[in-house]
Amino acid sequence: MNHDRPLPAGTRYFFLSYVPPPTHNERTPGDHWVRRFYHDLNLAIDGQPGVRLRRRGFAAFTVRPPEDRAEQRRLALAEAEVFVPLYSPDYLNRDDTRREREWFRQRLQRAGRPTDGDNILPVLWTPSPAAVHAPDQARALAMGTDVDAYVADGMSALCRLQTHQKAYQELLGRLARHIVDTAERTPLQPAEPPSGRTDVPSSPTSEVPFRSVVIAPDQPSSPGRLNGRFHTHADRWRPFPGQRPVVDDVTDAAQRLRLPIDVRDFVPDTDLFRDCPGVIMIDPLVVETDDGAEAVRAAVDCLRNWVGVVVIVDASVPNHRTHATALLDRTVAMIPAPARPLAVTTHAEWQAGILGLVDRMRRRYLDARPAYPPPGPPISKPRLSEHPLPDEGMDT
């Protein structure tokens, strides 16, 4: 098969490659912001100087009906002038998105172009804490190294936050100029659309999860099946009657930030958070038993700078309030002050602060950037007493 057989002139300036939202939830915020970014990038291209006819980019979500997306994606991948991948931990870990990038690279190689030249324009959508993603992330940062918010938080944050709109528009302009210049000055010959499966070179991918850990009464005495979302006591704990398990709120917050989630019952392990950010949620009722109090003390040994501690009790029940509050104070007193344990007594308070808490722990982990997996012998655990943290509440 001749992969370089000419096709009719393409109609796409760029191919937007991104991680789609989970199929079970089409309202995932990430998809909304990808759509906005795509729309704004096309507007920026239309606003470039000159009299040439501007051509729109391709994104799979523009295809209706959805059943036609696979075929239209295949054709657009063969016609587009510039490949624009939105890099995130999910993107760089998934074979399907990396396969799109690999096929485009093969197209460039057949055309005698550099496989990481001007025709591939990566955008840092969400920063990855994994060391193995550093080379890809460095390329995505190249077009915005002077924009601090882009380097720290990625284009997704710039797109979402009003305070970053000036930087967002500046970077959209840079992307648009690059795409138009590349497409018009050095057009890429369309190729025969890909068929069959494109092999993806072996690459060490990594999943850095946000770990949600629960210490509550009646947890299983043996580790059992603790790694994952199902069959744990943790995902059944409901400190607020009539509300869903609190780990579901942590899961939603993590997924809004495009983080994989790992829900666990607590089992003492000083390396529990060595390679990932997370939160430990404690039911203060556990300190009424010797085993429970020991579990809280063991959790202190697991703490790192990127681990939040939340003590949760429902103080809305009158007959329970005094006893619950006393246990809450007793539990908080067991946690070192530098860890800034948060005491939550109402569901509204919990709901208002969980996204901010997850985001802060993620940011701290990104700032520390431990290697994943860390090379050589185990790394030393930072001591909380040597790294005092600013006074932070869940709603800041």
Final residue before a domain boundary, out of 132, 151, 185: 185
Would you say 3 and 191 are in contact if contact means Cβ atoms under 8 Å apart? yes
Residue 282 located in a structural domain: yes
pLDDT bucket at 7, cuts 50 / 70 / 90: very low
Residue 148 located in a structural domain: yes
Looking at the 3D structure of the chain, how many domains does it have?
2
C-beta contacts of 203-206 below 8 A and 24+ residues apart: 203/98, 203/132, 204/132, 205/92, 205/93, 205/132, 206/89, 206/93, 206/130, 206/132, 206/133, 206/372, 206/373
Predicted pLDDT at 292: 84
Residue 118 located in a structural domain: yes
Question: Do 236 and 122 fall into the same domain?
Answer: no
Question: Do 122 and 235 fall into the same domain?
Answer: no
Query: Distance between CA atoms of 103 and 119, rounded to whole angstroms?
Result: 13
Residue 197 located in a structural domain: no
Question: Do 375 and 277 fall into the same domain?
Answer: yes
Query: 0.85 exceeded by the pTM?
Result: no
Question: Do 53 and 128 fall into the same domain?
Answer: yes
Query: pLDDT by residue (tens digit) across 93-137?
Result: 777 788 899 999 999 999 999 998 999 999 999 988 777 788 999
Report for 20-24, 231-235, 248-252: range of highest mean pLDDT: 248-252
Residue 391 located in a structural domain: no
Query: pLDDT by residue (tens digit) across 198-240?
Result: 665 545 445 678 899 999 886 543 333 333 333 356 667 888 8
Residue 392 located in a structural domain: no
Containing 302, the helix (H) or strand (E) segment is: helix 290-302
Query: pLDDT by residue (tens digit) across 296-350?
Result: 999 999 999 999 999 998 877 666 667 778 888 899 999 988 888 889 989 999 9
Mean pLDDT (the chain) is 80
Average pLDDT on 355-364 reads: 91
Residue range(s) defining the domain that contains residue 294: 210-386
Query: Distance between CA atoms of 389 and 381, rounded to whole angstroms?
Result: 16
CATH number at residue 122: 3.40.50
Question: Do 114 and 253 fall into the same domain?
Answer: no
Residue 195 located in a structural domain: no
Question: Do 176 and 76 fall into the same domain?
Answer: yes
- Please determine, for residue 87, whether its predicted confidence score (pLDDT) is greater than 60: yes
Question: Do 25 and 172 fall into the same domain?
Answer: yes
